[in-house]
Amino acid sequence: MALAGRLGATAALVPLSSARARGAQAPTAEPWGKDKLTRLSLRPPDYETPVALLDSFITPVEHFYVRSHLPVPPALEEARWRLAVDGDVETPLSLSVAELRAMPAATVTVTLECAGNGRAFFTPPVAGIQWKKGAVGTARWRGARLADVLKRAGAKSTARFVHMQGADRPLGTMPAFVRQVPLDKAMHPDTLIAYEMNGQPIPPVHGFPLRAIVPGWEGAYAMKWLASLRVSATPSDSFWVATAYRYPSRRVAPGATVAAEDMAPLTGLVVKSLITTPLDGATLPRGAIAVAGFAWAGERDITRVDISTDSGATWQPARLVGEQQRYTWRRFEYAFEATRAESCLILSRATDDRGNVQPAVAHWNPSGYLWNQYDGVRVEVR
Ligand SMILES: Nc1nc2c(c(=O)[nH]1)N[C@H]1C(S)=C(S)[C@@H](COP(=O)(O)O)O[C@H]1N2
Ligand SMILES: [Mo]
């Protein structure tokens, strides 16, 4: 079905100015239905979610952050879409979305987070989009297994990587967005070529009609507008694989220059927590104060979250709510009595099933990735 048909009457593909001219939306309307988000860039679209809107286990599409290096490709049409599968395979394929929908379907709920989430908090500052806390969200993804597609194409025994490319085209001198998944992660049954997000066709800005879902790994693996899979014995020499999305193999001093050979590709997300209640800067009456939020650790499970209400002097365990689902954030809750008027710093500190604990100060790195120090909100008790 053509994209316009799926969108119905929404103005998602209409430039901002004509949407205004038609009077269809309020003057502040953002494209892509992201009115409630904080815009960091219009073209390409980059939006972060205010913490107040991250208070549900599943993040609704209208609240889901957007990170794009390049503008959304024009004229996205499901009926004409083809996914090329080539390189080191017995049988190169050109798959339609209908063919992918006819394959066995899998559904995986995944907390997706941009590797640059929290970059704004590094000292010294790091260049790049200055994400604060909201380049993260959780959605239910449904699609075909990447492994089934690779089996159908017959990946050769020399295959070690799958290079992925989207249909978004470079701006100026910017290189095309290419990412690669090592073969073992590509063959994992939870790694998907998704065509649905939260039970609906994937919205245009989130990768319609197809995107990769590489559960637990930093967001840039989740290639949107997926157009090409190239199976290869060798790593991609694309800028986005060979240079970007790399992290020092050893701890480095803040502000240090790190040699290329000391940088390794990012893979899984690290242990992290986010307090969603109360909000930073809230004024609260004395008495019972409820604290809640989410903690996640990529492919790892969360085993505990501790809360401090005295700036880190003492810590108490929060209650973990519900079951841990692999690859998703875990809800935590905590309550305490505020007996006197004061300015109170509430901190959260998560631990994963490997015993990794959030650091008090995030590890600085040249691209400002994986910021994960204790979360903190300051509230005024009156
Ligand atoms: N084709 C394409 N896929 C992409 C990107 C992009 O710029 N182009 N951005 C990546 C990055 S850096 C992230 S964090 C996620 C963001 O997904 P979202 O916009 O659906 O939240 O998409 C990834 N997939
Ligand atoms: Mo990202």
Q: What is the tens place of the pLDDT at every residue in 227-283? A: 999 999 999 999 999 999 999 999 999 999 999 999 999 999 999 999 999 999 999
pLDDT at 66 over 90: yes
pLDDT at 172 over 90: no
Question: Which numbered atom of ligand 1 lies nearest the CA of 137?
Answer: 21
Token couple for 218: 């930093």
Å from CA of 114 to ligand 2 middle: 4
Establish whether residue 206 lines the binding site of ligand 1, counting it when its CB lies within 6 angstroms of any ligand atom.
yes
Domain coordinates of the chain in residue numbers? 27-244, 272-381
- Tell me the average pLDDT across 212-226: 98
Name which CATH class applies to 272-381.
mainly beta
Check: CB of residue 183 under 8 Å from CB of residue 160. yes
**How does residue 225 score in pLDDT terms, banded at 50, 70 and 90?**
very high
- Sort strands 83-87 and 226-232 into parallel, antiparallel or unpaired: parallel
Å from CA of 336 to ligand 1 middle: 39
* Separation CA 314–CA 323 (nearest Å): 27
Ligand 1 mutation target, pool 69, 70, 239, most atoms within 8 A of CB = 69
Superfamily (CATH H level) for 27-244: Oxidoreductase, molybdopterin-binding domain (3.90.420.10)
- Tell me the average pLDDT across 178-206: 98
Establish whether residue 168 lines the binding site of ligand 1, counting it when its CB lies within 6 angstroms of any ligand atom.
yes
pTM confidence score: 0.93
* Separation CA 222–CA 206 (nearest Å): 10
Question: Kind and range of the H or E element at 147?
Answer: helix 146-153
pLDDT score recorded for residue 28: 65
* Residue nearest atom 10 in ligand 1 by C-alpha distance: 220
Establish whether residue 166 lines the binding site of ligand 1, counting it when its CB lies within 6 angstroms of any ligand atom.
yes
pLDDT at 377 over 90: yes
- Residues near 167 by beta carbon (within 8 Å), at least 6 away in sequence: 73, 76, 225, 226, 227
Question: Kind and range of the H or E element at 136?
Answer: strand 136-145
pLDDT score recorded for residue 171: 83
pLDDT at 10 over 60: no
pLDDT at 213 over 90: yes
Q: Which tens digit of pLDDT belongs to each residue from 14-53?
A: 344 444 444 444 556 999 999 999 999 999 999 999 999 9
Mapped onto helix, strand or coil, the DSSP state of residue 220 is helix
How much is the mean pLDDT over the chain? Answer: 93
